[in-house]
Amino acid sequence: MSALRSSRAASVQVRGFATTPNLRVGPESPHFVAVPKAFQTTNQRTPRTKGTLPVPRELFPNRRTDKPGKRYLDSATHHPLTERQVNPKSGDPEKQAFKIKMAELRKQNFRQGLTELFQRKTVEDTIMANRSAKRKANRERILRQPEPEDERLTRSSVVEAMKSQKHALADPNREERLALSQMRVEANKAQKIAARKEDLHSLYMGARNFIINEEQLNAEIERVFPDGENEAWRNDHQQGENIWNLGIPPTVQHIVNESRKSETHRWDVSQGRLKKLGEQLTGGKL
């Protein structure tokens, strides 16, 4: 049996070409592909804290200057009119005494905590004001200090006439440019007004065929969709009045041939030109 086991064992270990490590991990694991790691460790990223913290409450607002005073503390932790005592006839006098003791302790903690918080706020405000005053004084000192010698000796030379120039250069054509700009603005405004009037007039002329009531709508439906049989609706080889029955769309060659053969096309073109000329003369749509 030992001889058989030795004969079955492989004498040479064959290395495969796969990069998968000798681990029992699936393809979805980041350790499925063996990636060499650098000797120098990377910086540990701080985990992102999800959500937002609530805005802390302002304990001492500016509108409540009497909050840390004795009057506010007395009103917040007022004492009962009559001193509370343990009733010996109650069912649980120890519990009643414990409640009285805890009530007094809460009042004491409230007064002590509010006083200490106000003292801490006063100290922090003083430190902040001193720090701000120091920074402001340091800034003023830096702004008013004389120019360093290295900057004065290495800066580029400036003409003396330019040093005294503290205002903008004179513009002799300023009034002319302003007048020209104003004229352009007025021309654009007039052009927009004229275009708007033209659009309103075109809308007024086109409003003759608008359907404004139910009777006109019913009449148009009866005209376009008659009750009787319309043979022209069954195919696209005949010209009709409806937009859905205009026949086969004409080709470019067909349009060219029709314009060459008949004078109808020239007549339509001349009529369109005369109409445009009349609109220009009358100042409105025809």
Share of the chain above pLDDT 90, in %: 25
What residue spans of the chain are helical by DSSP H? 2-8, 70-76, 93-144, 149-154, 160-163, 174-206, 214-224, 252-261, 264-282
d(C-alpha 245, C-alpha 247), whole Å = 6
pLDDT digits (tens, 9 = 90+) for 202-226: 888 888 888 989 999 988 888 776 6
| Both structure tokens of 269 | 């073109």
pLDDT digits (tens, 9 = 90+) for 11-37: 444 455 555 445 578 888 888 888 887
Identify the CA nearest to 85 among candidates 107, 73, 103, 111: 103
Neighbours of 206 (CB within 10 A): 10
Residue 89 pLDDT > 60: yes
pLDDT digits (tens, 9 = 90+) for 223-269: 776 665 666 565 555 555 556 666 667 788 877 777 666 666 677 77
Residue 4 pLDDT > 60: no
Map out the domains of the chain as residue ranges: 71-78+91-143
